[in-house]
């Protein structure tokens, strides 16, 4: 009950800042204050804090209003120029040229790596026919020599 009462008390304190409380709600606050005297001091702190907060408003105006407007308009001009195609066309052209150059470079590099190898079959190691002996083999002793 006490926790519920406390919650309602705090909620009403907050709501009091936005609207006029009903008589019933005011009566509840009075009853709560009477039962919990320590809350009265806290409530005055609460009111003081929110009064300070409301009084904290900065009434800022730029030191030189014309300069502020001038800056905004200058930035707006720069922005509108940047939004036009004419502003970006040199950059786009440059990017296009660079892209084409890169593409050409990649093409060249790719082609050199896929080139057919030079024909080096003549230098390949391969099995040759056995060499013919310089001297004919001699017949075994007793064998007749074959006529040439």
Partner 1 sequence: MDAVLTTHLPNEALVEELHWLQRCRQGDEAALAMVIARHRARIIRTAANILRDRHEAEDVAQESFLKAFRELHRLRDDRAFSGYLYRICVRLCMDRLRSRRIEPAEFDSVEESQGARVENRLVIQKLLGQMPPDLRATLVLREIEQFSYEEIAEMMHVPLGTVRSRLHTARERFRKLWIDATRETA
Contacts to partner 1 by CB under 8 A: 10-11, 13-14, 17, 42, 45-46, 49-50, 52-54, 56-62, 65, 68-69, 71-73, 75-77, 79-80, 83
CA distance 2 to 10: 12
Of 2 and 79, which CB lies nearer to partner 1 in the complex structure? 79
Of 16 and 28, which CB lies nearer to partner 1 in the complex structure? 16
Q: Where are the alpha helices (DSSP H) in the chain?
A: 2-15, 23-35, 38-54, 65-83, 85-113
Distance of CA 57 to the CA centre of its chain: 37
The CB-based long-range contact list for 19-28 (8 Å cut-off, 24+ gap) reads none
Of 63 and 118, which CB lies nearer to partner 1 in the complex structure? 63
Residue in the structure block whose two tokens are 């593409």: 103
Of 31 and 77, which CB lies nearer to partner 1 in the complex structure? 77
């Amino acid at each position: 009950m006490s926790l519920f009462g406390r919650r309602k008390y705090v909620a009403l304190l907050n709501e009091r800042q936005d609207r006029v409380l009903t008589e019933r709600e005011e009566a509840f606050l009075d009853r709560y204050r009477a039962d919990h005297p320590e809350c009265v001091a806290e409530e005055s702190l609460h009111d003081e804090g929110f009064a300070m907060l409301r009084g904290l408003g900065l009434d800022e105006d730029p030191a030189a209003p014309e300069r502020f407007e001038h800056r905004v308009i200058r930035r707006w001009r720069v922005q509108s120029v940047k939004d036009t195609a004419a502003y970006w066309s040199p950059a786009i052209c440059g990017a296009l040229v660079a892209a084409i150059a890169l593409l050409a470079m990649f093409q060249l590099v790719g082609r050199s790596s896929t080139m057919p190898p030079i024909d080096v079959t003549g230098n390949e190691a391969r099995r040759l026919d056995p060499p013919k002996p310089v001297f004919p083999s001699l017949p075994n002793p007793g064998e007749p020599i074959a006529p040439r």
